[in-house]
Amino acid sequence: AFEVECQRSGVSVTVPPGKTIYEAVEEAGVDVLGSCMEGVCGTCECDVIEGDPDPRDSVLSDAERESGDTIMICVSRSRSERLVLDL
Ligand code: FES
């Protein structure tokens, strides 16, 4: 599990194995946009403020993947214990 802090909403959630960041933050009442839920459309993209994302999508380029500046929250996870997102 890892923690996701939604900076704009002032909400923090724990994301356990088997649950996506998208599901966890939505349950906590954070407004999120999504469509495919498979990491292919790019709708759920959001900026990473802090932490080391683990990209599992098919949208980002290799350079974007390496930069760790942005994340598709419907499929991607975190390598760090905590991710701070612009949500
Ligand atoms: Fe399509 Fe996340 S909802 S990439």
Complex ipTM over 0.90: yes
**Counting atoms of ligand 1 from 1, which one is nearest the CA of 72?**
2
Residues 6+ apart with CB under 8 A from 52: 68, 78, 79, 80, 83
Residues whose beta carbon lies within 6 Å of some atom of ligand 1: 34-37, 39-44, 57, 59, 72, 74
Q: What confidence score (pLDDT) does residue 66 get?
A: 95
pLDDT 10s digits, 1-37? 999 999 999 999 999 999 999 999 999 999 999 999 9
**Counting atoms of ligand 1 from 1, which one is nearest the CA of 36?**
1
**Nearest Cα residue to atom 4 of ligand 1:** 39
Say how far apart CA 67 and CA 34 lie, in whole Å: 22
Q: What confidence score (pLDDT) does residue 22 get?
A: 98
Give the full edge-to-edge strand order of the sheet including 70-72: 11-15, 2-6, 82-85, 45-50, 70-72
Tokens 């966890």 correspond to what residue? 24
Q: Which three-class secondary structure state does DSSP give residue 41? A: coil
Using the mean position of ligand 1's atoms as its centre, give its distance from the Cα of residue 64 in Å.
16
